[in-house]
Amino acid sequence: MKYYIIAGEASGDLHGSNLIKELRKLDSNANIRCWGGDLMQATGATLVKHYRELAFMGFTEVVMNLKTILSNLKFCKEDILKFQPDVLLLIDYPGFNLRIAEWFHKLKAQSSKLRAKIVFYISPQVWAWKESRVPKMKKTIDKMIVILPFEKEYYKNKWNWEVDYVGHPLVQVIEEFKNNQQPEESKTENSKPETANYIALLPGSRKQEISKKLPIMLEISKSFPQYQFVLAKAPALEDEFYAGFMQHYTNVSSVRNKTYELLMQSKAALVTSGTATLETALFQVPEVVCYKGSNISYQIAKRLIKIKYISLVNLIMDKPVVKELIQNDLTVENAKEELSALLFDESRQKQLKKDYEDLKNILSAGGNASANAATIIFNFVSA
């Protein structure tokens, strides 16, 4: 079969590559054309556009690059029609992919020659904001595959839409990483290498958010001189940007492109909201979730986003497993207090370990998420 896959970010490239590997096990003759990155290309897929050409984040950047974005959409549509796939497989990246889904759905209604099914893998977070997208999504997407357990119930109960939950692909990614990092003779199901006196700092990937949170994270290091604080730098940001923040902190070092290696060895972590909170939990690292934006942005977000928690850990578990310090609550004193509890309170550590184990069990969904998704896609398109 012919697969046209669109992933517009690094995470989509990772999950897309694992999905392609599983699809090839089911379909040895798979002809795959994709938008993604090096990982998807390494699976043998024909790479049309690299996600580095597509990564426009924030309102201002989108407006400044509108001509390029529209050009990419036009080229993508032409390329799809030229390729004539059996399935159009869209991975996350909703601003672009939902437009492609709507366009192709309308085109199919006008032409009996177009029969490709539209599959969306990794749902947009419409349960948090832009819920108005759902009716159009339900109309234009033939199969929705979700990776967060509460999303299946959300779509069913609120929108009468049956979607497929496959588990979270990060479970498999992180388990494979752990196994590859450990000596063969020391591997067990729940083994973890001896941690160093490291506290991981994961302040995000955008300059604006880092500028708000990193100074607070760094100041906390002064109260824990017995620990080495290690900053995970964003791949796309230059060293000079970080140097101005770090110069006065003697027990702070940094790494780049080694976040997983850092988490493997850390006693605790200060983490910005987003997928990093889930990754940290799957590495069984106690964490404090930190979020601080401009006051205007925060006030707007508070009115638009309708969720109880900002971290995926708490959202999935539906309870405050990890402490969230948001906006004015993110102070040096509050973070110090929470970090101390994570490092020195044994009962807190024991409860957190149990919650993390429960989280992993929920996300595992009976196996490999990528394999589960590939099976659903192959069977759906073959029917």
Q: What is the pLDDT of residues 328-338, one digit of tens each?
A: 899 999 999 99
pLDDT at 186: 36
Q: Is residue 194 predicted with pLDDT exceeding 60?
A: no
* Least confidently predicted of 84-88, 245-249, 331-335, 356-360: 245-249
Q: What contacts 24+ positions apart, CB below 8 Å, involve 183-192?
A: 192/264, 192/284
Three-class SS state of 350: helix
Confidence class for position 305, pLDDT limits 50, 70, 90: low
Average pLDDT over every residue of 148-157: 95
Average pLDDT over every residue of 336-351: 96
The region that residue 239 occupies, defined by phi over 0 for left and psi between -120 and 50 for alpha, beta otherwise, is: alpha
pLDDT at 297: 62
Average pLDDT over every residue of 45-59: 76
The domain 2-167+366-382 is classified under which CATH number: 3.40.50.2000, 3.40.50.1100, 3.30.70.60, 3.40.50.720? 3.40.50.2000
Q: Is residue 128 predicted with pLDDT exceeding 90?
A: no
Which tokens belong to 284? 């069984």
Residues of the chain with CATH 3.40.50.2000: 2-167+366-382, 173-364
* Least confidently predicted of 192-196, 221-225, 257-261: 192-196
Mean pLDDT over each residue of the chain, to the nearest integer: 90
Q: Is residue 368 predicted with pLDDT exceeding 90?
A: yes
Average pLDDT over every residue of 43-70: 72
pLDDT at 7: 95
Average pLDDT over every residue of 350-373: 93
The CA distance from 123 to 277, in Å, is 18
Q: Is 4 in contact with 87 (CB distance < 8 Å)?
A: yes
Q: Is residue 56 predicted with pLDDT exceeding 70?
A: no
Average pLDDT over every residue of 331-355: 96
Burial of 286 (0-12, 13-18, 19+ CB in 10 A): buried
Average pLDDT over every residue of 343-354: 96
- 24 or 70: which leads in pLDDT: 24
- 60 or 26: which leads in pLDDT: 26
Q: Is residue 55 predicted with pLDDT exceeding 70?
A: no
Q: Is 291 in contact with 273 (CB distance < 8 Å)?
A: yes
**Bridge partners for 272 per DSSP:** 290
**Bridge partners for 144 per DSSP:** 120
Q: Is 360 in contact with 128 (CB distance < 8 Å)?
A: no
Confidence class for position 209, pLDDT limits 50, 70, 90: confident
How is residue 329 annotated by DSSP? G
Task: Give residue 240's identity as a one-letter amino acid code.
Answer: E
Share of the chain above pLDDT 90, in %: 74
What is the end-to-end Cα distance of the chain in Å, rounded? Answer: 12
What is the pTM for the complete model shown? 0.88
Q: Is residue 298 predicted with pLDDT exceeding 80?
A: no
Task: Give residue 223's identity as a one-letter amino acid code.
Answer: S
Side-chain half-sphere CA neighbours of 84 within 13 A: 5
The CA distance from 90 to 8, in Å, is 9
pLDDT at 302: 62
Q: Is 279 in contact with 356 (CB distance < 8 Å)?
A: no
pLDDT at 189: 39
> Does the domain at residues 173-364 carry the CATH identifier 3.30.200.20?
no
The CA distance from 253 to 2, in Å, is 47
- 302 or 271: which leads in pLDDT: 271
- 175 or 66: which leads in pLDDT: 175
Q: Is 11 in contact with 38 (CB distance < 8 Å)?
A: no
